[in-house]
């Protein structure tokens, strides 16, 4: 397209030379245009990724709305669990590129367009963790409108907003301010208790963890009493609570019969738990 050969065959007439020159110039122009468009597409794709403008194509991921100390802790824990994460925030945060499994989108977490760009229809669950309760409430409402079935974990700091968050569509509500305040008091009165709680909720590689297990029809524990379950658990795990259709039963009696639909809250030793069949 852009070469003229070795000169063994060349036009002799003026019209032939004009056609040859036109063809050469056109070929160079077309090739230059194609190269320019290709480079533009590559650079544009890279820039969109760097600046958080790319539409997400992942599925079964976790969306985190808002970037702050609370959401950063959540994102790092999710990354340790090898989850695919999409962070949405109105500002660019280059440090997110250093966290494995994280894709970020610059935009308003309250915007339907931004949430759609994060592939909301295919997400596992959404964490709404902006610092302002009003932003959390509005974002929760919009997410629920766009996806009626997705699980939404909402961060709410003011207790008076809890019921509003529930009405807005939040599946679970967490108040870091209340939890943190209570732990500060407990640290002064019962320091060992707080140390235990911190270890159980820190997702450490070693030590203890809190775990929720949903009982199904095929579960070993289905139809068994709490006493039989405790015998099976031994020193590998401790049953703290059973959540049934009647609510939470903390430290349930040995005679309680576990059934399908119950949730078991346990403290486990991850190194030993692998051998337990619930």
**Domain range annotation of the chain:** 1-50, 62-179, 207-273
Ramachandran angles phi, psi of 139, nearest 5°: -65, -40
CATH for 62-179, among 3.40.50.360, 3.30.420.40, 3.40.50.720, 1.20.1530.20? Answer: 3.40.50.720
Contact 105, 118 (CB under 8 A): yes
Nearest to 184 by CA among 203, 202, 174, 197: 197
CA distance 177 to 205: 26
CA distance 149 to 170: 11
- The whole-model pTM stands at 0.67
Q: In angstroms, what CA-CA distances link 271 with 37, 81, 195?
A: 54, 16, 20
The CB density around residue 166, as the number of other CB atoms within 10 Å, is 15
* Strands 151-155 vs 172-174: parallel, antiparallel or unpaired: parallel
Q: In angstroms, what CA-CA distances link 120 with 76, 156, 278?
A: 21, 21, 33
Burial of 242 (0-12, 13-18, 19+ CB in 10 A): buried
Please report the pLDDT score of residue 50 as a whole number: 44
Homologous superfamily assigned to 207-273: Regulator of K+ conductance, C-terminal domain (3.30.70.1450)
Please report the pLDDT score of residue 45 as a whole number: 47
Please report the pLDDT score of residue 40 as a whole number: 56
Q: What is the pLDDT along the chain (278 residues), one digit of tens a residue?
A: 555 554 556 666 676 667 667 776 777 777 777 776 666 555 444 444 444 444 555 678 999 999 999 999 999 999 988 899 999 999 988 888 899 999 999 999 999 999 999 999 999 999 999 999 999 999 999 999 999 999 999 999 998 999 999 999 999 999 988 888 888 898 899 998 888 777 777 655 556 778 889 999 999 999 999 999 999 988 888 899 999 999 889 999 999 999 999 999 998 877 666 667 78
CA distance 227 to 255: 6
Q: In angstroms, what CA-CA distances link 37 with 28, 34, 71, 225?
A: 14, 5, 39, 68
CA distance 255 to 225: 6
CA distance 139 to 66: 10
SS3 category, 79? helix
Burial of 34 (0-12, 13-18, 19+ CB in 10 A): exposed
Burial of 220 (0-12, 13-18, 19+ CB in 10 A): middle
CA distance 3 to 27: 9
154 Cβ partners below 8 Å, 6+ apart? Answer: 128, 136, 137, 140, 165, 168, 170, 172, 173, 174
SS3 category, 85? strand
Please report the pLDDT score of residue 66 as a whole number: 96
Q: DSSP label at 207?
A: S
Q: In angstroms, what CA-CA distances link 183 with 9, 162, 186, 212, 230?
A: 89, 20, 5, 22, 29
């Amino acid at each position: 397209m852009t070469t003229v050969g070795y000169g063994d065959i060349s036009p002799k007439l003026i019209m032939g030379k004009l056609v040859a020159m036109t063809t050469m110039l056109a070929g160079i122009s077309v090739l230059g245009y194609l190269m320019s468009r290709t480079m533009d597409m590559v650079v544009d794709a890279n820039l969109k990724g760097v600046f958080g403008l790319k539409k997400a194509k992942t599925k079964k991921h976790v969306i985190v709305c808002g970037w702050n100390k609370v959401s950063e802790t959540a994102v790092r824990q999710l990354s340790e669990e090898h989850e695919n994460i999409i962070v949405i925030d109105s500002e660019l945060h280059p440090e997110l590129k250093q966290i494995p499994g994280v894709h970020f989108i610059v935009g308003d977490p309250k915007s339907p367009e931004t949430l759609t760009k994060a592939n909301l229809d295919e997400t596992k669950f959404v964490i709404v963790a902006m610092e302002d309760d009003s932003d959390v409430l509005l974002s929760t409402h919009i997410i629920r409108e766009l996806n009626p079935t997705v699980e939404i974990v909402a961060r709410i700091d003011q207790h008076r907003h809890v019921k509003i968050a529930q009405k807005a569509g939040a599946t679970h509500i967490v108040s870091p301010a209340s939890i943190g305040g209570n732990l500060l008091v407990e640290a002064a009165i019962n320091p060992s208790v707080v140390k235990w709680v911190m270890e159980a909720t820190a997702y450490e590689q070693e030590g203890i963890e809190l775990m929720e297990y949903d009982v199904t029809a095929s579960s070993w524990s289905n139809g068994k009493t709490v006493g039989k379950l405790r015998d099976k658990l031994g020193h590998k795990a401790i049953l703290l609570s059973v959540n049934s259709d009647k609510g939470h039963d903390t430290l349930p009696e040995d005679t309680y019969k576990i059934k399908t639909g119950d949730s078991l809250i346990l403290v486990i030793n991850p190194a030993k738990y692998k051998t337990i069949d619930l």
